[in-house]
Amino acid sequence: MPATQIREITPASRLENVRYAIRDLACIADEVAKQGHKILPLNVGDPNVFDFETPAHLIEAVYGAMRDNKNGYSPSSGIKPALDAIRGEAARKGIGSVQDVFVTSGVSETVDICLTALLNPGDNLLTPCPDYPLYSAVLAKLEIGLNTYYLNEKDGWQPDLDDIRKKITPRTRGIVLINPNNPTGSVCTRGMLEEIAELARRHNLIIFADEIYDKLIIDDDAHVAMAAVAPDVPVITFGGLSKNYLAPGWRIGWGIASGEASAIKPYLEGVNKLLRARLCANHPEQYAIAAALDGPQNHLIDVKRKLRSRRDLTMRWCAETPRVSCVAPRGAFYAYPSVDIPEGDDVFVTELIRQKHVMVVHGSGFGQRPGTNHFRIVFLPDEKTLTAAYGAIGDFLRERYG
């Protein structure tokens, strides 16, 4: 008889530092929902959960590809119509010196592949604080210690250049710039982009420009692409269908590699090794890329109208609510209020779910300056839902903190 296995199979120790605050809160919400309570979700940036729909011409493009049996593997970098459309989008964004483009399973995979291809043990990468937690999760998986630079709340959440300068070490390989930013909704000025580009030149850094929300500038200001400001600097620009084109579940993202060819080509050989090793991104969904980038953009008019109204409602609530203040977001669909409370923001959001059944994400899940507390609001829900949620949060603040 075979022996009974009784020893635990333990996970790798490097996973101890992997956190994903946005999804981790779902466990608490599930407990509350099992008690019969309806949860008001202001935590996950999924437009399709609310009153936003994927444009019909994208769906038709994918359906046509499936019907035409484009259901096998694609080339590792992506199908030619998609790559051509991405190059056209790069040109519209003012990005010259494009050296490569590639399609991935969402920007999450773009980030994973690009960081894995770059970093050796002992290296570091500058990431914003606060930031989208995917970056710290990938770095933890790679066993790369965090090297974060602050965003300055007093300056509209622009990157703190002095802090960036202090954090650059001989082992710093690159810098991540999320613009528009998640979780703050800030948008970088051209002057700020030029300053960051100059630091990259001086210290031989690659810039990862996460621009997944670049068409969701709420007040119709122009978005300036990092790579357009610095055509000589190695830049990987991240984009995708998830946010601008309301198709997060399709998991289609891409990277645009630009900069001086001699500087970036060796690194791109490593990126393409990893692209080949994982075979390809979703094949039929790639046929939506050209339809999205080269087709009608009419859906954005209604999307931005809704976001503007819901952003303004959010800001009115922040201004009228004791203990809360907020820098007005200019892009994406997030607000990142500061909250004046005598306990951690992780306790605040946990008790808010349990007592008022409203889900927001604690600022410490994204990173923040010591001594501050924040929470992230996703203002995608309709005005009625937002009003109910904000009323519940206001009641919670009064009842718990006076």
Quote the pLDDT of residue 245: 98
What is the span of the domain harbouring residue 333? Answer: 13-52+299-401
DSSP code of residue 221? P
Q: Are residues 246 and 347 in the same domain?
A: no
Question: Could you give the CA distance from residue 78 to residue 255 in angstroms, rounded to a whole number?
Answer: 11
Q: Are residues 353 and 375 in the same domain?
A: yes
CB atoms near residue 7 (< 10 Å): 5
Question: Could you give the CA distance from residue 56 to residue 53 in angstroms, rounded to a whole number?
Answer: 8
**Residue 97: left if φ>0, alpha if ψ -120 to 50, beta else—which one?**
left
Question: Could you give the CA distance from residue 281 to residue 259 in angstroms, rounded to a whole number?
Answer: 25
Taking 70 as the pLDDT cut, the residues of the chain under it are 1-6, 17-24
Q: Are residues 130 and 230 in the same domain?
A: yes
Number of domains comprising the chain: 2
Q: Are residues 205 and 129 in the same domain?
A: yes
φ/ψ (deg, to 5) at 372: -115, 155
Contact call for residues 42 and 358 (beta carbons, < 8 A) = yes
Q: Are residues 181 and 260 in the same domain?
A: yes
CATH number, domain with residue 395: 3.90.1150.10
Quote the pLDDT of residue 221: 83
Residue 48 maps to a domain: yes
Q: Are residues 33 and 68 in the same domain?
A: no
Q: Are residues 212 and 231 in the same domain?
A: yes
Q: Would you call 361 exposed, middle or buried from its count of C-beta atoms within 10 A (0-12, 13-18, 19+)? A: buried
- One-letter-per-residue 3-state SS of 254-306: EEEEECCHHHHHHHHHHHHHHHHHCCCCCCHHHHHHHHHHHCCCCHHHHHHHH
Residue 147 maps to a domain: yes
The two three-digit tokens of residue 75, written as one number:
């080339």
The two three-digit tokens of residue 324, written as one number:
């809360």
Q: Are residues 284 and 303 in the same domain?
A: no
Question: Could you give the CA distance from residue 172 to residue 8 in angstroms, rounded to a whole number?
Answer: 38
Quote the pLDDT of residue 11: 77
Quote the pLDDT of residue 3: 61
Question: Could you give the CA distance from residue 130 to residue 336 in angstroms, rounded to a whole number?
Answer: 10
Q: Quick check: helix, strand or coil at residue 112? A: helix
Quote the pLDDT of residue 19: 64
Q: Are residues 285 and 243 in the same domain?
A: yes
Last residue of a domain, one of 247, 271, 294: 294
Size (the chain), residues: 402
CATH number, domain with residue 81: 3.40.640.10
Q: Are residues 37 and 135 in the same domain?
A: no
Last residue of a domain, one of 294, 316, 335: 294
Residue 6 maps to a domain: no
Give the count of alpha carbons within 13 A of 266, CB side only.
4
Contact call for residues 130 and 374 (beta carbons, < 8 A) = yes
Question: Could you give the CA distance from residue 152 to residue 52 in angstroms, rounded to a whole number?
Answer: 32
Q: Are residues 89 and 218 in the same domain?
A: yes
The two three-digit tokens of residue 113, written as one number:
């592949």
The two three-digit tokens of residue 332, written as one number:
């994406």
Q: Percent helix, strand and coil across the chain, each rounded to 5?
A: 45, 15, 40
Q: Quick check: helix, strand or coil at residue 125? A: strand
Question: Could you give the CA distance from residue 206 to residue 201 in angstroms, rounded to a whole number?
Answer: 9
Q: Are residues 132 and 270 in the same domain?
A: yes
Contact call for residues 77 and 275 (beta carbons, < 8 A) = yes
Pairing of strands 358-359, 40-41: parallel
pTM to 2 decimal places: 0.93
Quote the pLDDT of residue 150: 97
Quote the pLDDT of residue 2: 62
Last residue of a domain, one of 264, 294, 324: 294
